[in-house]
Structure 1
Amino acid sequence: MTPKTDKPKPDKPSEDIARHAARMQAKRDNPGPSPLRGIGMFGAIGWSIVVPTVGGAFLGHWLDRVAPQGFSWTIALILGGVVLGAILAAGWINKEGGGK
């Protein structure tokens, strides 16, 4: 009798399980486009514009009462908030890879 030096071949079910696990891991690491993810990004971008705009409106209204000028602080800071929000939104889009 000759001793067997061959390694045992893995059985078919274990190969299937390994292949399935690799597919699951790849899908987890690289999720495809999701409608919910798009809605979430849309919301985050919206808030990045709304918060500075509303903050500018409140600050401008307060400044109009405390330090009146020949121009409206409220309008100036609302416009400033919109510009700041647009810059933040553009940064968010570029970070998330939407501006490829």
Structure 2
Amino acid sequence: MAEPPGPRRRPHEGSRLGHEVGRHAERKRRARARGHRAAWFGLGMFGLVGWSVAIPTLAGIALGAWLDRRTEGAASWTLTFLFIGVALGCLNAWYWVRQESHYDD
């Protein structure tokens, strides 16, 4: 069977990447099995939760401010999308924390 067109790979390139990914996954699996989590894990989770809430909130504020400049009205789109962004961010953070706590079971 003919090889598909495209750049040729050396045989060891994919296996080196696969080996590296497998090594990291095995290390993560062993750490979870031991129940040992370093302080870096807590800081990383804290950052993940913070950004999970901050980004949708800031995006909501930006969208609301843009709509307020474009439309006339008594309603504040900035406040509306601020609350929507915070709600979406909290749901997003809850999802990530739930994903990580699922591995503790």
Over aligned residue pairs, what C-alpha RMSD do you find?
A: 2.0
Task: Trace 1:35-54 onto structure 2 (pairs within 5 A).
Answer: 35-54=39-58
Aligned match of 1:82 in 83, 86, 89?
86
Q: Residues 86-97 of structure 1: matches in 2 within 5 Å?
A: 86-97=90-101
What is the TM-score of this pair, normalised by structure 2? 0.64
Structure with greater proportional helix content: 2
Give the distance between the partners of 1:54 and 1:38, measured in 2 at CA.
Answer: 24
Residues 28 and 55 of structure 1: CA distance in aligned 2, closer, same or farther (over 3 Å): closer
Percent identical residues: 36
> Any gaps of 5 or more consecutive residues in structure 2?
1-25
Give unmatched runs, 5+ long, in structure 1.
1-25
Asked if residue 59 in structure 1 is aligned to residue 67 in structure 2, the reply is no
Give the length in aligned residue pairs: 75
